[in-house]
Structure 1
């Protein structure tokens, strides 16, 4: 049975959204134990049915604005830290939180543990692709590391390919490097050198590199895996999310605030508009995965609803079923000389 350690107090809508999301997911996940870390009395009061749910007392909470590493070290009895410790101890197989992103990353790296040979674990998100051979693409890093070396971006290409292949089922995933132009010589020294490494890895058969991709084209599906430094990736991700919300809001208000003709047109277009909104809804695809650590660690938005929590828990089961962590660890071990030599040079 898969055991998921859950930070029940993390996020803007905790614990209600977390508890309700667990109960929604449980109906489709009969072989999973959900371990809820937090004030037990408070959590039990929100539960309708405690089937497959285990409660573990955690009397501290890491707030969203706290300094991550300091909070991790000083709040040992927090729901976030205790959930991560359960994974480290083998009492749970995966870790979920909607809480402080920095604290989730810190506990993932320093408590759950980094896979030996992975220089920088990264946050990876699944995004919708409106064109191309697949309905989604994966993007990493989207915020774990503000600064990167070329070798880190190369490893992101490898790790992202594994996820796209093993979890999403893409055959020979196309890897693109986020850059400010499509030509190989575009960008700063970091991206020029990363382009060379990715091309070398592609020539060696380690991945399928298709070159640079620009942010304006990402939703058109030019690549199945988009590699980026954490700063650029996070800014791009938020720009995409914000633009999607703004466009849908403008369309909605144009119809609602319009005349009778606009309202009738909106009524006729409602099924199509609903489908368009669903395709742009990134929450359908779960949370951001911390790739490069010794167990599945997934972080969803702090403002996540119960539905989004449930989708992320289903994503964790897919990751577990695919045995992604062990496969990544085995690959890195097999190719450690090649990966380490790239790190030393760059």
Structure 2
């Protein structure tokens, strides 16, 4: 299997990207194609004694920055590391593409270069996050600010397929983020989305409130991209705050430090569960071929985990399963 990686996507590129790819090539039995300015990639690898074994480099003259407009990937910067990686994926030169770069550009590039699955209205960011019962998918998390009910229905179906095929969840429970649990809660969008999701072939369990998300709101939580991004950022912020508060309490004095030592392993497990580096990032679901978005501040560990999840996506034939699920129940609405 060959994974194409944008070597200049993210705040810590290219060094951390190269480190993570090297770890993945060795530990995950994958070949890697790095896209970006070749001289900079080779220099970073050489200066840090990183082996480029099982890694191919495709030289590109430019890179997409976080300041660039989303459309730049197919216009003035169509020679960038992101654009070239997406083109190589579309041409069948790799099995999947991974980038930690500009989210808007990735959505535009994936939609226009790789293309969407026939009948899918929008591609979506769908991270898998920790909660009290294990983990769940939040879909969409920012790719689509304005959504229709039909789009939310498709999000639920695609999320259900991913959680079953990649995460191993049997008959995933799908819920709709809302301001109450009653069937008639929310606005017109939520009312129609509720009806469509209930009519779908998936295991739809109804509306859930945001306060239930950290506890147990099902395996897939469906929402529009604006609301999903707010939930995601709040989720990350609260986790950082709570872990910081715990650290200040356990390091306050000798007595507290002794108490912390007694439960050190449990503290490490808790921190591990809320560390975004463990989750790698989010698949951009709905593309004809697998595209994965890493966190912008991804370190080597994040990159390796992103490639691990991307490999599972490919092996789970998620794209084919989504097409099959939608077509089987007539739930593609072009």
Would the TM-score normalized by the shorter structure come out above 0.5?
yes
| Aligned mates of 2:326, 2:205 — CA distance in 1 | 22
| Aligned mates of 1:200, 1:71 — CA distance in 2 | 38
CA contact (8 A) 1:126 1:139 kept: yes
Match of 1:140 in 2: 139
Does 2:41 correspond to 1:43? yes
Match of 2:189 in 1: 190
Stretches of structure 1 lacking an aligned partner (at least 5 in a row): none
1:66-105 counterparts in 2 under 5 A? 66-105=68-107
| Aligned mates of 2:288, 2:73 — CA distance in 1 | 22
Which among 230, 245, 250 is matched to residue 225 of structure 2? 230
| Aligned mates of 2:320, 2:168 — CA distance in 1 | 17
Match of 1:287 in 2: 281
Secondary structure of 2:4's partner?
A: strand
1:147-158 counterparts in 2 under 5 A? 147-158=146-157
| Aligned mates of 2:79, 2:224 — CA distance in 1 | 33
Which among 214, 227, 232 is matched to residue 219 of structure 1? 214
Secondary structure of 1:219's partner?
A: coil
Per the normalisation by structure 2, the TM-score is: 0.95
| Cα deviation digits, residues 195-214 of structure 1 (max 9, x gap) | 1111122xxxx100101111
Which among 263, 270, 273 is matched to residue 276 of structure 1? 270
Stretches of structure 2 lacking an aligned partner (at least 5 in a row): none
Q: Deviation at 1:333? A: 3.6
1:239-258 counterparts in 2 under 5 A? 239-256=234-251, 258=252
Dislocated runs of 4+, deviation >6 Å: none
The 1:295/1:71 distance shift into structure 2, 3 A limit, reads closer
Which among 316, 320, 331 is matched to residue 326 of structure 1? 320
| Cα deviation digits, residues 302-327 of structure 1 (max 9, x gap) | 10111011100000100011111122
| Aligned mates of 1:117, 1:52 — CA distance in 2 | 37
| Aligned mates of 1:292, 1:70 — CA distance in 2 | 21
CA contact (8 A) 2:73 2:108 kept: no
| Aligned mates of 2:327, 2:184 — CA distance in 1 | 32
Q: Deviation at 1:45? A: 2.5
| Aligned mates of 2:74, 2:101 — CA distance in 1 | 12
Which range is displaced more, 271-280 or 139-148?
271-280
| Aligned mates of 1:6, 1:275 — CA distance in 2 | 30
Q: How many residues are treated as equivalent by the alignment?
A: 330
Match of 1:159 in 2: 158
Secondary structure of 1:46's partner?
A: helix
CA contact (8 A) 1:60 1:78 kept: yes
CA contact (8 A) 1:118 1:332 kept: no
Match of 2:3 in 1: 4
Q: Deviation at 1:126? A: 0.3
Secondary structure of 2:163's partner?
A: helix
Match of 1:34 in 2: 32
CA contact (8 A) 2:5 2:97 kept: yes
RMSD: 1.3
| Aligned mates of 1:222, 1:9 — CA distance in 2 | 36
CA contact (8 A) 1:126 1:286 kept: no
